[in-house]
Structure 1
Amino acid sequence: MPTKSPTVVLGLGSWGTALAMVLAENGHPVRIWGRDPKQCMEMNELHTNSRYLPGVVLPPSIYATDDMEEAFFQAENVLYVVPSHAMREVVEKSLPFLREGMMIIHATKGLEQGSLKRMSQVIRETVPDSFKEKVAVLSGPSHAEEVAVHSPTTVVATSERREVAEYVQDLFINPRFRVYTNPDVIGVEIGGSLKNIIAIGAGMSDGLGFGDNAKAALLTRGLAEIGRLGVKMGANLYTFAGLTGVGDLIVTGTSRHSRNWRAGKMLGEGKKLDEVLADMGMVVEGVKTTDAAYRLSIREEVDMPITRELYQVLFQGKDPRLAVEDLMGRGRTHEVEETARLFP
């Protein structure tokens, strides 16, 4: 088990800060990097991150900097927690500071626009060959706001190499932050990314005032969509019955902490997408992921009706109420037979 392993966290948002707190509380020296020098100064002098985690006091051992070279000083692990659209840029910027033997972890839930690649794919094709087998993913049902106040949380570490996943497990696990391992990198990343789409739909249903029955249907049928695409891309179906599937979908699709649920609720209440994103003031990963997943569904020839309707709402101006009506008016099907087709 690693002890006092220096780690650099790239990303000053709520999730990057919360994970930095977990590492610091586990005794690991942590340096956290971000672009905003004022935010770094606040974190170092006041031990707060008022923009992203208001009311939370950070461990004084966390040191924030906007100088990436300084952030990497003596680091043995690097944790990327930046928005999906910035992942490639940040990884490329960090390349001069990677050292042999360094473990590479990401905790970002999303797909790259254009390439439609998962974040681990983006990292693996960007870093030198000697680092490719040391890439790991941390994902699961976890709101930063709750992790930061020590609410019990359970997540998953995955990698193509079991020993890498177990290293990450040991790095983060503590009595309040339990970490499982799972060898299914594709399933973990697809589940963690696509649940944001369904969470927008659940929020939209709530904003329209459709009640719990409609939301339960969206979450359940949304999970079926995620499973269909994931299996087509090589994932293990059973991953979607676990923490990074149904678990992450529940927490993101039902919680007031969820940016994606809140964005969907505002859409259901009649706001336009531009207004919603301006009001949020933070990245809503599910918006870009909806576009990417819609294109993936076409490429992989997978039927994803909820994703398709949400794509039309977000990017083609379709009325949310009409989108729900069209989903309800689809042709008849048999749930068990449809699910059974996913199994080999």
Structure 2
Amino acid sequence: MRYILRICGIFLLFFFFQSFSVIVLASTDRTSNFSSIDVRLTNLPWWIYGIILVVLIGLVFVLLRRKNQDLQNRIPIRREEPITKRRENPTIIPGNAQTIGSRDEQQDAFGFSDIYDDAFMQEFGVLAVLADGMGGLHGGREASHVAVQGFLDHYSQSSAIPSIPQKLISSLDAANQSVLQFAREQRLLGNVGTTLVAAVIFQHELYWISVGDSRIYLMQGESLTQLTNEHKYATELEKRAALGEISEEVAKNDPQRESLTSFLGLEKLEQVDISEKSISLQKGDSIILCSDGVYGSLSNDEILEVCRYLPTQESAEELITLVLSKKIVNQDNATVAILTID
């Protein structure tokens, strides 16, 4: 193709100069006849040169255009990748149950986002929250309810926050501020507290956050995994015992062992657990939120045995029935909230 273009270029220049010579000579010698002018190599009329010139220009144009198309065919065209279709939110089945146990009042609280609000689910997923008011402090019942409601309200209104983990952190802070505000109003600042755990299922992914000693379990098939850690003084005691600073006996019998080291109601939350990355979920997976009145009475095997065979709501009710069947002295409030992917 390069050689053809070069040859055409040479002929084009040749006939251009020929035509130019004819025109110049004709314009300087008005008595001359174009057909009789000798332009060195040929005596063709001027209009033939014009035709040849037009044909050559057209040929060069066609060849250049074809070459350009060949180049385009050789260069891979970068095509925009198709936008991945956003995964639809799965159908979520909630379940819940609780008992006051042998306590004077129910200090556990829980709540779900509206699972029938499709617009909310598409943007925020499905949220479950559970809180356990601290019985050793005043206002435990009010603190747990204020925390749950504050968390739910903030989560549903924080549309400007781009990610689920950031929304969970922001909502936890809002819940803590709600508890602190309640404590100030009741002049109980420093004497009000509650645990809180929250889980979100968004497009087959699980996100969670925790403060205190309530738990979140993930049930997948035949396995039950505890996702959260307890923020208790016992954890520090066990670390000190492992380092040889105190004996295991001292760590085991410390009267403050069960005291919480982090909970809502503190001016600054220094211990907060949050999922570092989302957990992929499949149909049949369940997320189980529970207070210590449940896991303190039941083993993990017992929880798994109930939840893997029964429907979600029946599982929640059966767990509480099983707790009560233990007839534990001074049975604590026990609450469970479950989300299952259908």
What TM-score do you get using the length of structure 2 for normalisation? 0.25
Higher relative contact order (Cα pairs below 8 Å, separated by 6+ residues): 2
Greater C-alpha Rg: 2
Q: Which has the higher helix share?
A: 1
What TM-score do you get using the length of structure 1 for normalisation? 0.25
